[in-house]
């Protein structure tokens, strides 16, 4: 076989040998240029997709902040309501049963204005003067073993809305100290339980590639919502800035991690994409 090929080349005219040589060189150059062009284009697509992923995660973080901000504003409106504050100044120990029932009905009218069963599990107000008001759409009242802890955290925050990712309850607790708008005297504490499904729905509305995963962690690294399968200490230990991206290897797979820390809740919104999916996108 080799002898036949050698004989074929030996019998070629010089012009044909030159033509064949240059043809092979052009073919070789085309393969080299094509390979470099593919790698270059692939890197451009990778960078573009990565930038889009960073923008998506940042937008998602802002959306979560926006939703929680709206809820906090409604709860603050309830605590600053003059009629609510007036009622909380009444000593519940001196109220008759009829007066107590009337107060509960009046307070329920104000509380129902900010309560939405699709967003909140319940709202509760602990008055400093032996009063307590509660609203919930469920037949049975939700019991919280950490009520005293919530009250202490709210009082320590001195009027700021505190978000508590309590993994012992299904909801995310929002607590706020209620103070007299004139004298700044303490009147009580408001607690509301935000449904985790509200945050999950915000994630579900985001298009983050079919193979991508998103999870949200609080400032202490505890899971809030999303895909918890990537909540490994090795990954979390690399989230040190307000935002960033890095390569993460696990289970013989290479992932690109994109994250953004909220300036409002201090939560981390994290996107995880296989690098193969990045190039495919």
> Cα dist. 79→31, 86, 179 in Å?
72, 11, 8
Q: What is the pLDDT of residue 11?
A: 64
User: pLDDT-derived band of residue 95, with 50, 70 and 90 as boundaries?
Assistant: confident
Does residue 258 have a pLDDT over 80? yes
Write the pLDDT tens digit of every residue in 66-76: 999 999 999 99
CA distance 205 to 277: 20
Least confident of 20-34, 110-124, 139-153, 222-236: 20-34
Does residue 18 have a pLDDT over 80? no
User: pLDDT-derived band of residue 92, with 50, 70 and 90 as boundaries?
Assistant: confident
| Helix locations, the chain, DSSP H | 2-11, 14-80, 82-88, 97-114, 147-157, 196-204, 233-236, 275-280
Q: What is the pLDDT of residue 58?
A: 92
Tokens 């930038």 found at: 51
Q: What is the pLDDT of residue 174?
A: 94
Q: Which pTM was predicted?
A: 0.78
Q: Tell me the CA end-to-end span of the chain in Å, nearest whole number.
A: 47
Share of the chain above pLDDT 70, in %: 83
Torsion of CA 239, 240, 242, 248, to 10 degrees: -30
Query: What mean pLDDT is predicted for residues 109-131?
Result: 92
Least confident of 38-42, 137-141, 161-165: 38-42
Closest CA to 173 of 56, 55, 71, 33: 71
Buried residues in 243-274 as b, exposed as e (16+ CB within 10 A): eebeebeeeeeebbbbbbbbeebebbbbbbbb
Mean pLDDT of the chain: 84
CA distance 30 to 252: 34
Task: Count CB atoms within 10 A of the CB of residue 163.
Answer: 19
Share of the chain above pLDDT 90, in %: 44
Closest CA to 129 of 100, 153, 162: 100
Q: What is the pLDDT of residue 81?
A: 93
User: pLDDT-derived band of residue 280, with 50, 70 and 90 as boundaries?
Assistant: low
Query: What mean pLDDT is predicted for residues 120-129?
Result: 93
């Amino acid at each position: 076989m080799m002898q036949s090929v050698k004989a074929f080349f030996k019998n070629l005219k010089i012009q044909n040998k030159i033509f064949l040589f240059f043809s092979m060189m052009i073919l070789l150059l085309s393969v080299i240029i094509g390979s470099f062009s593919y790698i270059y284009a692939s890197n451009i697509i990778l960078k573009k997709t990565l930038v889009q992923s960073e923008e998506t995660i940042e937008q998602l973080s802002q959306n979560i902040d926006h939703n929680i901000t709206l809820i906090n504003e409604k709860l603050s409106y309830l605590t600053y309501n003059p009629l609510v504050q007036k009622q909380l100044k009444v000593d519940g120990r001196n109220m008759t049963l009829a007066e107590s029932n009337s107060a509960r009905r009046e307070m329920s009218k104000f509380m129902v204005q900010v309560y939405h069963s699709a967003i909140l599990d319940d709202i509760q107000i602990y008055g400093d003067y032996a009063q307590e008001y509660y609203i919930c759409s469920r037949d049975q009242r939700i019991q919280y073993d950490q009520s005293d802890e919530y009250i202490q955290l709210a009082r320590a925050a001195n009027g700021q809305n505190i978000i508590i990712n309590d993994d012992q309850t299904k909801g995310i607790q929002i607590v706020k100290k209620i103070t007299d708008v004139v004298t700044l005297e303490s009147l009580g504490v408001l607690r509301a339980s935000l449904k985790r499904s509200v945050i999950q729905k915000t994630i579900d509305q985001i298009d983050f590639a079919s193979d991508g995963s998103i999870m949200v962690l609080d400032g202490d690294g505890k899971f809030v919502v999303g895909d918890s399968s990537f909540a490994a200490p090795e990954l979390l230990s690399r989230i040190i800035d307000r935002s960033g991206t890095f390569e993460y290897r696990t289970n013989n797979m290479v992932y690109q991690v994109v994250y953004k820390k909220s300036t409002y809740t201090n939560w981390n919104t994290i996107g995880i994409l296989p690098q193969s999916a990045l190039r495919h996108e």
